[in-house]
Amino acid sequence: MANEGILRFDNVTFEYVEKKPLLEEASFSVRKGAKITLMGQNGAGKSTIFGLIKKELKPKSGQVFVTDNASIATAAQVIDRQDFALTVEAYFAKAFSPVPANLKSRISKAMDAVNLSVPTAHTVGDLSGGQQARLLLAYALIQNPDILLLDEPTNNLDTAGIDHLIAFLMAYDKTVIVISHDANFLNCFTDGVIYLDIFTKKLETYVGDYYTVVEEINQRIEREIKKNAQLEKQIQDRKDKANFFANKGGKMRKLAKKLRDETYEMEENKVDVRRDDKTIREFTIPNQDIHGDIVTITSVKVVKNHEPVAVAVNKVLKKRSRLLVSGPNGIGKSTLLRSLVKGTEAGVKILDGVRVGYYSQDFAALNFDETVFDSLKNVMIEGHDIQEVRSIAAGFLITGEFMGSKVSQLSEGQKGLLAFARLVLMEPGLLILDEPTNHINFRHIPIIAQAVNDYQGALILISHMPEFVSEIKVDDYLDLGALAK
């Protein structure tokens, strides 16, 4: 039974736009109990695969088979904003029709499974990003699905949350398919990878842990490059000989034709080397030239027993100051940054005249109804022109085809890159980054870390990614967890 298949794609072709397929004759199968990673560049079709599995999308050709109508549930990347006003209990109730009589008992078990402890009367929108991430997973688990689909499940989770999730998934006996850019997380439990090639529109399947698969892909690419180099040399040699003999006349022309035919055949045999994930260009975040006490923090609120409590602190940020705000999920980190940006708390203040570049973990700084072009143009300060806007955007893989789209139509990863492009254009005096690696392809993260580390204005950072934080020369710390004790 362990090797019995539960899901199969059979030559599936799918397109959103006529004659522009996202998938072409995609085929793969997943056995019951497997832990599979979907891997591929932003826009390659990972979320589309989920949509096809759930029957929300229909293939243009081919078929998607789910064995014995196996049940499916998804832990999405983010909670829909229209659900922010719901209580936690009402949010879970949405998973059922009709709502079962034992809902509260089932909620308790689902929340225990993901180590989430909040009153069910709390409003979803009041939860921290990490608590919302756990809620999304619990929402999927409460449905007891045969196939669990996870879309970036580690976003906003602290280290303890990620460790708990890994332990849970390793013990989970049902089928799991994961989209994630967190390489260390994936390597802990995945036993196979389905790679979506954005250029060929094909799927490739690999067996093994994540790092083994990545190494196998890299080695294959190297072999293909070497093979093509050898063929190129042979092809050029035959072309040179064919040209030489073609001018000799008589039987030599027949030899020249034979050599040309061999050349064509060799060119057909060249391997189509997969172009690996594109990476954003190196970039700089210019800073507003401003002096004095850019940020003053005299008190902060930390959450104790689900209630905010004010605690006195003394933090002053000047130009080139770097403050790391830390603490467990739900302690009040993001709330502190939001109050700082909005100026709603007496204990935190930004110097008048300072331009604030705010990267919110839920992209609250973006207007989802704007076009991508307007989102960029509206933060452009004097000295930039439209051509420069387009060039900066292209460096973040936001090309002309996206400019007329609404921000809401971008993937979460593309929203993150858009947010960074906006920071470059606005040249802030204060940079506030709340989980800036969420949704971001891991290939981009070293480049972003370098840009943040090189930034010369004042910086406040929240991040649960140790590899990212280690690249930033932080000179001050604010541990809300310690203040709550």
pLDDT value of position 269: 61
Nearest partner of 372 among 363, 381, 360, judged by Cα:
363
- Residue 77 in domain: no
Residues 191 and 336 reside in one and the same domain: no
> Do 43 and 189 share a domain, yes or no?
yes
- What's the pLDDT score for residue 275? 52
Under a CB-based contact definition with an 8 Å cutoff, are residues 354 and 384 in contact?
no
pLDDT: is 263 or 373 the higher one?
373
Shared domain check, 320 and 180 = no
Same-domain check for residues 310 and 179: no
Task: Count CB neighbours of 244 within 10 A.
Answer: 13
pLDDT digit string, tens, across residues 5-36: 999 999 999 988 777 788 888 899 999 999 99
Q: Is the pLDDT of residue 42 over 80?
A: no
Domain assignment present for 226? no
Q: What is the mean pLDDT of residues 341-355?
A: 91
43 conformational bin, left if phi > 0, alpha if psi -120 to 50, beta if neither: left
Mean pLDDT for 443-471 is 93
Instruction: Of 359, 340, 327, give the one whose Cα is nearest residue 295.
Output: 340
Does a structural domain hold residue 80? no
Judge whether 441 and 42 are in contact, CB under 8 Å.
Answer: yes
Res. 59: pLDDT tops 50 = yes
Over residues 469-473, the mean pLDDT reads: 94
Question: Looking at per-residue confidence, does 187 or 135 come out higher?
Answer: 135
The domain that contains 302 carries what CATH number?
A: 3.40.50.300
3-state secondary structure of 61: strand
Please state the domain count of the chain.
Answer: 2
Distance of alpha carbon 186 from alpha carbon 209, whole angstroms: 8
* Domain end (from 213, 231, 246): 213
Quick check: 94 pLDDT over 90? yes
The two tokens of residue 84 are 């922010």
Are 317 and 197 in a shared domain? no
What is the model's pTM? Answer: 0.71
Long-range contacts for 398-406 (Cβ within 8 Å, ≥24 apart)? 398/372, 402/372, 403/371, 403/372, 403/373, 404/371, 404/372, 404/373, 405/371, 405/372, 406/368, 406/369, 406/370, 406/371, 406/372
Provide mean pLDDT across the span 93-97: 92
Query: 420 lies in which domain range?
Result: 295-483
Find out whether 60 and 11 touch, Cβ atoms under 8 Å. Answer: no
**68 phi and psi angles, rounded to 5 deg:** 50, 35
Q: Do residues 66 and 179 both lie within one domain?
A: yes
Q: Is residue 248 part of a domain?
A: no
Same domain, 207 and 330: no
Q: How far apart are CA 93 and CA 103, in angstroms?
A: 7
Q: Alpha-carbon distance 130 to 417, whole Å?
A: 21
Cα 143 to Cα 212: distance, rounded to the nearest angstrom: 33
Q: Percent helix, strand, coil in the chain (nearest 5)?
A: 40, 25, 40
Buried b (16+ CB within 10 A) or exposed e, 449-467: bebbeebebbbbbbbbbee
Same domain, 203 and 299: no
Total number of residues shown for the chain: 485
Which has the closest alpha carbon to 289: 459, 460, 427?
A: 427
Can you tell me the mean pLDDT for 36-51?
A: 84
Angle between helices 412-426 and 386-395 (to 10 degrees): 140
- From 213, 230, 262, the end of a domain falls on 213
pLDDT for the residue numbered 365: 92
For residue range 228-287, list pLDDT tens digits in order: 778 778 778 878 877 877 777 677 777 777 777 777 676 666 555 555 557 899 999 999
Reported confidence tier of residue 1, pLDDT bands at 50, 70, 90: very low
167-180 tens-digit pLDDT: 888 888 899 999 88
Asked if residue 317 is part of any domain, the answer here is yes
Examine residue 303 and state whether it is found in any structural domain, yes or no.
yes
Asked if residue 360 is part of any domain, the answer here is: yes
Write out the H or E segment, with its range, that includes residue 185. Answer: helix 183-189
Rounded to whole angstroms, the Cα distance separating 247 from 249 reads 6
Residue 244 lies in a domain: no
**R_g of the chain, CA atoms, integer Å:** 26
**Measuring CA to CA, how many Å separate 197 from each of 23, 29, 41, 208, 245?**
9, 17, 8, 19, 42
Last residue of a domain, one of 163, 196, 213: 213
DSSP state of 382: T
The pLDDT of residue 141 is 92
Q: How confident is the model at residue 411 (pLDDT cuts 50, 70, 90)?
A: confident
Residues 189 and 299 in one domain: no
Whole-number pLDDT of residue 259 = 75
